[in-house]
Structure 1
C-alpha cells in the first residue's frame, strides 16, 4: 500500500473559510465579554446586593486574568499545540460563562469571571496562531488578519448594545448565558474543521517565568487602572509590577525553556509591533472611556443612546480593519487619521449634537484604529517561527491591554484637574477635562505616527530573517 500523503499545510478554500469564521467568532466572544457586562452592573448590584467595590471586580477579574495570562496562553499553544490549547481555552471560557450566569452571589460571580478571563487568555493567542497557520503568507493572510481586526472591533461594539438589550429584556444573567451558548457550536466544530496538531510539539512551561510575568502584569495593570493614582496602593502596585517584570529578565536568561524566547526580543518587527501597539492601546481605551462620559454627563444621553451613537465608530473600525488586510502602508495613515479624529473630537461643545459634533470625528477615529491595529498585529508576529507564534501573538495583545491601563491612568490625570472643580457648572468643567484628555490622546497618536514612520524608513529593509516577510512589507 502506498504511503499516505502528508497533509497540505493550508486547507482547501472552503474549509479555510469555515475555520476562519470559527476563529474570528471566538475572538468576537472574547472581546464581547470585556464590555457586555458594563451596562448590566447596576442590575447585578441590585439583584445580588453588591457594593461598588464588588461590582468593580466583576469587570476587573476578567480583564486582569485575560490581560496578564495572554503570553502564558500563547506559550502553552506553542508547547502543546494550538488546536489542543484552543479547545481547552474554549472549555474554560464556556464553564466560566455558564457559572457567571447562575445568580449565586458576588463572590461566585467574580470567581466565574476570573475563569472566563483565564479561558480567554488561553484561547485567544491559540486562535491567532491557528489563523496564521491556516492562512498562507501574502494577500490571504492579510485578509485573514483584517477579519480578525474586524471581529475585535465588532465584539467591543456589540457588547455595549447587547448588554443593555439583554439586561432590559431578559435579565443580567443572560449576558453571560449568551457567551456560554455561543461556545457550544465552536466546541463541536473544532474537531471536525481544524486539523490536528503536529506531533512532537511538547515541552515544559517555564513556571517561574510564567508566575513572575503574570504577577508583574497583574500588579502593573491593576495599579495603573486605579482611579486615584495618589493613594499609596495606586503608587506602590505599579512600582512592584515593574520590579517583577525587570527581575523577569534575569530569570529568563537562566531558564532552559524561557517563557519569552530571546529570539523574539531580537526580532525588530516584533519589538516595533509591541512598542507601537502600546500607544494604540492607550488611545483606544481612553477614547472609549471618555466618549460615553461626555455623552452621558455633558449631553445627557441615556446609556443605550450612548451605545447606539457609537455604532458608526465601530462600523468604521470594522471596515478599516478589513481594508487594512488588503492594502499596503496603512500604519502611518492610520495613526494620522486617529490623531486628526481625536483633535476634532476634542472640541466637545456643551450643546453638541451627534450629526455635527460626533459623527465625523468618531468615524475618523474608527478608521484610524482599524488601519493601525491590523498591521501592528502582523508586525508582532512577523519573522516568528511556528514554535513561537503563539507567545508572540499573546505578547502583542498583552501590550495593548497594558497600554490601555497606562493610557487611562495618564489621560484620567489630565482630565481630573478640570473635571474635579465641577460644582454648579459641572458639565462645563467636565467637558473641559475631557477636552484635555482627548488632546493628550491625540498627541500620543501623533508621536506614534512619527515612530511608525521612523520604523518604516529604517526597519523595513533590516528585518530579521524570515520566511514570511509579507506582513511587514504589505501591512505596515
Structure 2
C-alpha cells in the first residue's frame, strides 16, 4: 500500500533491489555495447568520424542534463510510472540500430537512449528509497545499489565483448539489449509498487527544468573542448567548475540573491563538498576505463576480450573500497577518509603516467589503486548520515554528471593530440607514439582531478563525523534520510 509523501512499502524488498540494480547495469551495458559496435555502425551507415562523435555526444548530453528533471517527474506522477516510461524508451531505442542504417534515425535513437538512461537511473534510486523504511534497512539497500552502479562500469565490458564475439554480427547484440529491456519492462509492475505523487511535486518539475540547459550545455561543451587543443590546466578548471555546478544550481534555483547564495554555500559547504567530490571521482573512473580500453588494444596489442579481463580487477578495487572506507569513516571521520581515498586514486593515476598502459602487468596494480579510491562512489548514504546535508538523489545526479564529463574530457584529450600531430603521423609506430602521449596526458588529468577532490574533501568534510543511526519515525513517509530534510537537491 502506498503511503503519503510518495513512499511505499513492499512485502519483499529484495527482488525490487535486484531488479533496479539490473536496470542500472543495463544502462551501462547499453553504452558499452554501442561503443564497441561503433566500427560496425560506421561501415553500415556510412558515417564519418564527426558522425560517430555526434552519436556519442548526443547521448552524454541527454544523460547528463536530465537526472534532476527525471526525479522531479517521478515525484509528480509516480516513480514506477516514470521508470516504466524509461524502460519503454530504452527498448525501442535499443532496437533501432538493428532495423535501420539511417544516420538521422541512429542519432535520434541515441538521444532517446540518453533520456531513457537518465530516467532509469533517477527512478531506480527513488524507488529503492521509497520501498524501504527510513533507517539501517534503507541505508543497506542504497549502499548495495551504489556499489553495483560504481562497479558496473568495469564489470560489463567483458560480457559485452563476449556477446559481440559470440554473435555473427553486431546487430544481434542490439537485439539482445532490447530484449533485456523488454523483460525488465514486464517485471516492473510485478515487483515494484507505485509511489504516491508528492504534494507540490508538479511545482518541483518547473524548478528541476532549470537544470536541463546548464547541464546539457556543460556536457556539450566538455565534448567540444575535447576537439580543440587546450592546456591540461584549462581542462582541469572546466572539470572542477562542472563538478561544482550541481550545488550552485540547487541554491540558485531557490531564487536567492547572489550574496545570500554565496553565504548559503559557505554555511552548507559540506554538502557542496560531497556533491563535488562524487562528480570529480566519477569523472576520473569513467574517463580512465575508456582510455585504458583504447590504450591496451592499440599500445598493448591486447584483444577486446583480453581488455575485458584486464578491467575486472577494478571491480574488486571498488568492492574493497566499499567495505573498507565506511569503517575508516566511522573511526577517523568522513573528510579524512574521503581525502585519503582520493589520494590513493591520485597515486594510481601517477603510476600509470610513469609506466604507461602497454600491458596487463603494468595496468592492474595502479588500476586497483584508482578503483579503491573510487569506492567513494559507494558512500552516498555515508555522506548523508555524516551531517553534510547531501541527499543520495543529488549525489546520484552528481555521479551522472561526472560520468558524462569523464566520457567527454578524457577521450577528447586523445583526439586533440591526434589532430595536432596528424600531419606528422607517417606510420603505425608514429601513431602509437602520439596515442601514448595522449594517454599520458589523460593520466595526468586523473592525478589533477583526484588531488582536486582530495583538497575539496579536506576543506569541506573534515569537520563532520558520522551520525548514529536514527530510529524510524512513526508514519515517516520516506524521502531523505533523517537529518537531511530541506538539504540541497531535495
1:269-348 equivalences under 5 Å are 269-321=270-322, 328=329, 329=334, 331-348=338-355
2:124 equivalent to 1:127: yes
State the match for 2:92 in structure 1: 95
Matched, 1:367 2:364: no
The Cα of 1:16 is off from its aligned counterpart by 0.9
- Calculate the TM-score normalised by the size of structure 1: 0.78
Secondary structure of the structure 1 residue equivalent to 2:36: coil
SS of alignment partner, residue 115 of structure 1: helix
Distance 1:230 1:460 in 2: 43
Aligned counterpart for 1:49 among listed residues 46, 49, 62:
46
Structure 2's unaligned 5+ residue stretches are: 257-262, 471-479, 486-490
What per-residue deviation string (whole Å, max 9, x for no partner) do you get for residues 128-184 of structure 1? 011122344454344323322333244323543344333342322233222221123
Residue number among 144, 157, 171 corresponding to 1:173 in the alignment = 171
Tell me, in whole angstroms, the C-alpha distance in 2 between the residues paired with 1:223 and 1:374.
Answer: 28
- C-alpha distance 314-264 of structure 1, shift in aligned 2 (>3 A): same
Counterpart of 1:408 in structure 2 is 410
Within 5 Å, give how 1:188-227 maps onto structure 2: 188-198=186-196, 201=199, 203-204=201-202, 213-226=211-224, 227=226
**Cα offset, 1:205, TM superposition:** 5.2
TM-score norm. by structure 2 comes to 0.76
Distance 1:376 1:207, change over 3 A: closer
Counterpart-to-counterpart distance in 1, 2:370 and 2:248: 37
Aligned residues: 447
- Alpha-carbon spacing, 1:69–1:272, altered in 2? closer, same or farther (3 Å): same
- Corresponding residue for 1:259? none
Q: Is the 8 A contact 2:155 2:311 kept in 1?
A: no
Unaligned residue ranges in structure 1 (runs of 5+): 256-261, 472-476
Shift of 1:23: 0.8
User: Aligned equivalents of 2:171 and 2:338: distance in 1?
Assistant: 40
CA contact (8 A) 2:247 2:275 kept: no
CA distance in 2, matches of 1:112, 1:293: 25
Where does residue 67 of structure 1 map in the other structure? 64
C-alpha separation in 1, matches of 2:197 and 2:388 = 20
- How big is the shift at 1:212? 5.1
Please report the RMSD computed on the Cα atoms of aligned residues, expressed in angstroms.
Answer: 4.3
- Given that residues 71 and 394 in structure 1 are in contact (C-alpha distance below 8 angstroms), is that contact kept between their aligned partners in structure 2? no
Q: 1:81 aligns with which of 70, 78, 82?
A: 78
Aligned twin of 2:482: 468
Distance of 1:79 and 1:264 partners within structure 2: 28
C-alpha distance in 2 between matches for 1:416 and 1:381 = 46
Question: 1:474: which partner in 2?
Answer: none
* Pair 1:399 & 2:398 matched: no
Shift of the alpha carbon at 1:22? 0.9
What displacement does 1:452 show?
1.7
